[in-house]
Homo-oligomer: A and B are copies of this chain.
């Protein structure tokens, strides 16, 4: 049993990692779509969404089958339960990349963003991709130090997000309300994407160390 469990759990972890990588790649193309008004990039994110959703359903079923057929205990059981929770975080990351791509498509052939904020989104996109990649590595290697690095990326994301709001709230904002609404929602999508990557890191740290790190975005 244990051998089969180990194999199947390794497969599941690598599937989760692959999906986190795909979420990062989707956010990469969605950001390109946004910055370049690149319709093909937007369509590629939107077009692959169903396939990733199928992978997510597959991962959920595999986790369930692991519980049902291998009846893991103790630390093994904890791993499968974490996998079930992590699937939901990955699922949201993919959905958030999809949201960004859809805004780019909706505004095409126009740019969704006023040029003044392009730099912010280029950087938020870069960080998001890095975090998707980081989540993938953490899921595959279970390296708690790499998991902790996700927090640093998240802080950089939060800083950018705060600056972006300062810009929006400034009386000098000259790009109108419609652009402000788009920028607000888009900023929120990137910030939430980062939160989910951090959450994946926290769950992996918990698995490895037995201690759940404090939530950096603790809401209270």
Which A residues have a C-beta under 8 Å from some C-beta of B?
Answer: 46, 49-50, 53, 63-64, 67-68, 71, 73-74, 77-78, 81, 84-85, 88, 95, 98-99, 165, 168-169, 173, 176-178, 180-181, 184-185, 188, 219-220
Given A49-B220, A181-B165, A220-B98: A68 and B64 within 8 A (CB)? no
Q: List 16 A-B contacts (CB under 8 A).
A: A46-B220, A49-B219, A50-B220, A68-B73, A68-B74, A81-B84, A84-B85, A85-B88, A88-B88, A168-B178, A168-B181, A173-B177, A177-B177, A184-B185, A185-B188, A188-B188
Residue of B nearest to A78 (CB): B64
Distance A94 CA – B81 CA, assembled complex (angstroms)? 22
Given A77-B67, A81-B84: A177 and B169 within 8 A (CB)? yes
Q: What is the count of identical protomers in the complex?
A: 2
Residue of B nearest to A165 (CB): B181
Beta-carbon contact of B81 and A64 below 8 Å: yes
Beta-carbon contact of A178 and B188 below 8 Å: no
Distance A46 CA – B185 CA, assembled complex (angstroms)? 24
Q: Which residues of chain B are within 8 angstroms of A176 by Cβ–Cβ distance?
A: 177
Q: Which residues of chain B are within 8 angstroms of A77 by Cβ–Cβ distance?
A: 64, 67-68
Distance A12 CA – B2 CA, assembled complex (angstroms)? 30
Q: Which residues of chain B are within 8 angstroms of A88 by Cβ–Cβ distance?
A: 85, 88
Q: Which residues of chain B are within 8 angstroms of A165 by Cβ–Cβ distance?
A: 181
Distance A50 CA – B219 CA, assembled complex (angstroms)? 9
Beta-carbon contact of B178 and A177 below 8 Å: no
